[in-house]
Every structure is written in C-alpha cells, then in structure tokens.
Structure 1
Amino acid sequence: MTVGIIGAMEEEVSGLAARLAEAKEEVRAGMRFLTGKIEGKEVALVCSGIGKVNAAVAASILIERFHADCILNTGIAGGIAPEVKLGDIVLSTACLEHDFNVTAFGYEKGVIPRMETSVFPADQRLLELAKTCEEELASGVTVHTGRVVSGDLFVASREKKEELYRDFHGSCCEMEGAAIAHTAHLYGVPYLVIRAISDQADMKATENYPEFTAQAIENFLKLTLRMLKAL
C-alpha cells in the first residue's frame, strides 16, 4: 500500500519529509516528490504549491506515477464554524469548491454542471481511523469532523466567512482540499483532508496566521504520523 500525502507549503510537509526512511526524490511538473517509508508504510510525499490547480496536478501525479492507494491532504486552514477554534483539527467528511459559480445558468453556488456530484465525500475508513488517533494529540486540541470548502482565495473577512458557513455549511476553508477530493473522486481513490486551524478566516486572519501556524502544523503532524502507524 502506498499512501500519497500532499501539503501546499514546505512547512506543511517538512516534518514528514524529515521522517522518511530510504528516501528518493523525483521531480514532476516542477514539484519535488519524495518516496520512502514512514512508520513502516510506503509513502509518496509532495509539496504541491498553493491553490487548486497545483493541488489537482499533484494528486494526479501521485495516482498515475506513484500508484497511491489513498491520498491524505495535510495542512492549515481558516476556521468557519463557530465551534472550530484556533489550533483545533478538522477532518473532512466531504469537500466542496466554494468559488465554482455558474449561478447565471440557474445552478446553486458550488455546483459543477454536468457532474453527478459537486460534494466529494471523504473515505469513511480513513475518517474513522483518524478519529481513533485523537489521543496522540496534546490535551486541549479538539478534533472536529465537517465539510472542508476550498477556493483560490485567502478568506480574511467576517462577511465571506459567514457566507461560506451559511451557503456551504463549511467547518473550515482553505485553498487545495476540494481540488484533491475532486481528483480522487475522478480516479476512484480514497482520500481524507486533515486541517489544523491557524486563523479564524476573519479580519484578524492575517495577524493570527503567522502566530498560530507553527502550533497548527505540530497538531496535524502528530495526527498524520499516528494514522500512518495505524494504517
């Protein structure tokens, strides 16, 4: 079994990269793919770069070239739901692209025309496994399950945050997860998004982001490592 792991930024994958045994490197589409073993599991790890297109390309390469049997997307996100606080973790139940908008043709926001679904469910087995790994986290870290909404936009206003919660019932927002989910759906490959909250997606988001990023990364790294051990 090969586990594909995608992080958008170097700081989101460096902790995992440092733990790779028997590491090898291959560059595809300008992205550095690292393969090896973590916790005895075969892993293909990539820093995709920020945004939906980068994430979708990375996911495709993990599946086509490295034969990933499942994909984990780890990283940080902005909290949307009222109960989701700084440092918490959100495990995706499903993902949706919030910036897909063809309402001019009568579709609801987020709907992708001529697809059977625009909401991509996470793999239930991966989700349940992640939920059993909560005990590895530091005390005070709360794990939520919910919808991850993605778009090529850093959300930093109360109005946009409220819109994403009202229209899409999002638990958190970021810029890659739904593109990975969409790609995994097309290939029929199981996926899960694991996001730690670095900001509250409001007018203080740009202030909170650098302050809480390091702790958020530590939180999702612990959970991801525990999952790899249990897989």
Structure 2
Amino acid sequence: MPRIAVVAATRWECQAVASILSDGRAGLIGGVPCLDGRRGAHQVFVVRTGVGPLQAARAAASFLDACPVDVVLSAGYTCLLTQGAVGDVVVATEVAPLSGDHTENQGPVSTGAGLPCETALGALAAQVAGQRTHHVHAGRVVSGPRVAVTREEKRHIATKTGAVGLDMESAAIAGAAARRRIPMGVVRVASDVLDEDLPLDFNRCLGPCGWMTGVALCVRRPLRLIGLMKFRRDVSAATMVLTEVYGGVLDRYE
C-alpha cells in the first residue's frame, strides 16, 4: 500500500485534505500532529507543521524520521505571483527558499538552490486540476520567512524570482524530503493574487497572541473588517478547490 504524506501548515489546510479520507485517526507521530487515514488503496498521513519555514523544517524532519513514506506533498494555500485568480492551482516544477528584504522597500531578493519536484506527480496534479476546469500555473515556487502583504511586495518578488507562487513552508518541506531521498511535489491553491493587498499585515498575527493582535488592528481601523470578510470568502473558495484537487490526485496516484 503506497504511503503518502500530505504536509500543510494550518488546521484549515489540513482539514481540506483530511475531509476526503476514510478511517481517519488523529494523533502524534514523531511529536507532530497528524491524521492517518485512507483514500482508496493509499495510506495517507495529513501532517500539520505550523506556520513558517522553521516550524515546517522541524516538523517535517521529525515526522519523516518517525514514519517513512513513499512520497511527500506540500499542500495548502499560496500567493499567486502571476496573473490569475483566487482558486487557481499552483503546481511546482521546483521549489526554492527566498532570502533578502522582500518588503515594499524593494530591497534585494535572492533564492537558494532550487529543489526539483517530481515530474510525474506534477503532471498528474495539473491534469486533475485542468479536467476540473481549474486554471493551472506550473513553475517555480518560492518560500519566504514572512507573508507578502502588499501588491508592491508581491510584484517585487515575482520580478526578482520568476516564481508563480509564494508560500512559507514548501522549501523547508522539500529540503526534509530531499535529505531522505523521498520524491516530493507542491500542489497548492491561490488564496490571494498578485495585484491585491491583503486586508491585514498577517505577520503581526503569527505570534502566541496573534488573534488578539488581529482584533486590535481591526478595532483601530474598522474598515479592515470588509477586507477580512472578502479574504475569508477567498480562503473558503481556495479550500474547496484544494479538497477537490487532492481527491483527484490521491485517487489516481500510482
């Protein structure tokens, strides 16, 4: 029975995939929260790392040391760095870490060495998404240490890297898989797009008191709530696509 690890940062991203599994059992493997379930003939582990490259690196390494698998998939949301729409599917051909000042200060941006993604897996994901009439963007995905908040910041990263998608975890997950010689792919769904600001600076909400920071920011500027409601709808739309695409990929993976 093929053993597949689907790795994501947050419980919402994990739930999007866990919802299509049967016989799911939640627990800890290597100290990492995960759900062990089935999809057809596949044993699927949905692994929650937490947000950001450091947490992703630690969690992916701990899980993979404790639970050998045949393939690793980085799942979840992504910022689309090319023209497109929320709900578009991003399939990585390679993934690379992002370094430098990629804020709206337009500082230097560079990437580390890219890690190639499994070609057949990417082709399968693109085919599944295309058959479900979702637009697919295949290319380089970069992972940074912070959320890209403004359209200027997003354009800066896109111009400097040529990437089609930006997240915070995929490069760390890919590194953990590569060191263990496990095939790896990145299949994510756009929750925000190139020419649009996020309604909040979510970097300020990533700490232990993050939700309180978010509330305080909204209290100071109530109009942010309108943007947050739109963002919530966008994330919900991306979640539905994530569930649909991963259902198709897991059904057809051999």
Greater RCO (CA < 8 Å, at least 6 residues apart):
1
TM-score range, shorter chain: 0.7 to 0.9
Measure, in 2, the Cα distance between the counterparts of 1:184 and 1:135. 27
Residue 71 of structure 1, CA deviation: 0.6
Q: Which of 168, 171, 175 matches 1:175?
A: 168
Hey, what does 1:122 align to over in structure 2?
A: 117
Residue 185 of structure 1, CA deviation: 1.7
Aligned length: 217
Hey, what does 2:232 align to over in structure 1?
A: 210
Measure, in 2, the Cα distance between the counterparts of 1:86 and 1:22. 31
Measure, in 1, the Cα distance between the counterparts of 2:177 and 2:145. 19
Hey, what does 2:248 align to over in structure 1?
A: 226
Measure, in 2, the Cα distance between the counterparts of 1:174 and 1:44. 21
Residue 204 of structure 1, CA deviation: 2.2
1:177-215 deviation line (CA, Å, top 9, x unaligned): 111112222221111111111112555223353230011
Contact 2:31 2:63 in 1 (8 A): no
Measure, in 2, the Cα distance between the counterparts of 1:65 and 1:29. 5
TM-score (norm 1): 0.85
Measure, in 1, the Cα distance between the counterparts of 2:3 and 2:41. 11
Measure, in 2, the Cα distance between the counterparts of 1:159 and 1:22. 45
> Given residue 224 of structure 1, which amino acid in structure 2 is its aligned partner?
Y
CA change 1:87–1:15 in 2 (3 A) is closer
> Given residue 120 of structure 1, which amino acid in structure 2 is its aligned partner?
L
Which of structure 1's runs of 4+ aligned residues deviate more than 6 A? none
Name the SS of the counterpart of 2:57 in structure 1.
helix
TM-score (norm 2): 0.78
Measure, in 2, the Cα distance between the counterparts of 1:25 and 1:177. 23
Q: Provide the identity percentage.
A: 24
The structure whose Rg is larger is 2
Q: Residue 146 in 1 paired to residue 147 in 2? A: no
Hey, what does 1:37 align to over in structure 2?
A: 38
Name the SS of the counterpart of 2:164 in structure 1.
strand
Unaligned stretches of 5+ residues in structure 2: 102-108, 200-226
1:1-231 correspondence to structure 2 within 5 Å: 1-28=2-29, 31-81=32-82, 83-99=83-99, 109-111=110-112, 118-135=113-130, 137=132, 139=133, 141-201=134-194, 204-206=197-199, 207=227, 209-231=231-253
